[in-house]
């Protein structure tokens, strides 16, 4: 179900000029969602590793052990959110060269007041 929602939204974004979140719900709860878009003149595919690296690079904006006052690392924190146990991934290619990746998370992350217990520092 998560994969179907992610694919449906990636396809929808490929058909429009919009880059908004879906607002989809699963089991009555709005899902977490990361969206990436790459625009190329040669219809290059956005590689999964490239998307993950881009989102994970936001780690430099996150201070572990404190609740953020501004969410400058939201893609990263959602990716590593401890309580998110299900994901769905969708990818679509637009006719104008945009490559779009949507990743859905359930339960959603980036919950105010829960960062310190869900975004843990990496093990060295």
Predicted confidence (pLDDT) per residue in 27-46, tens digit = 999 999 999 999 887 777 88
Q: Is 124 part of a structural domain of the chain? A: no
Structural domain boundaries, residue 55: 2-118
Predicted confidence (pLDDT) per residue in 55-86, tens digit = 999 999 999 999 999 999 999 999 999 999 99
CATH for 36: 3.40.33.10
Q: Is 78 part of a structural domain of the chain? A: yes
Q: Is 65 part of a structural domain of the chain? A: yes
Q: Is 123 part of a structural domain of the chain? A: no
Looking at the structure of the chain, the number of domains it has is: 1
Closest CA to 5 of 81, 93, 92, 90: 90
pLDDT of amino acid 43? 74
pLDDT of amino acid 44? 76
Cα separation values, 58 from 1, 8, 15, 69, 103, Å: 28, 26, 28, 16, 16
pTM, entire model = 0.93
Half-sphere exposure of residue 50: CA atoms within 13 angstroms, side-chain side: 10
């Amino acid at each position: 179900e998560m994969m179907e929602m992610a694919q449906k939204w990636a396809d929808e974004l490929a058909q429009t000029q919009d880059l908004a979140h879906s607002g989809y719900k699963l089991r009555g709860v709005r899902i977490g969602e990361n969206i990436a878009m790459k625009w190329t003149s040669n219809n290059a595919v956005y590689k999964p590793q490239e998307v993950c690296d881009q989102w994970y690079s936001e780690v430099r904006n996150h201070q572990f052990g404190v609740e953020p006052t501004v969410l400058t690392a939201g893609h990263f924190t959602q990716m590593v959110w401890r309580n998110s146990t299900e994901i769905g991934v969708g990818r679509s290619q637009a006719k104008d060269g945009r490559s779009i990746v949507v990743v859905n998370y359930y339960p959603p992350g980036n919950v105010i007041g829960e960062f310190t217990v869900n975004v843990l520092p990496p093990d060295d």
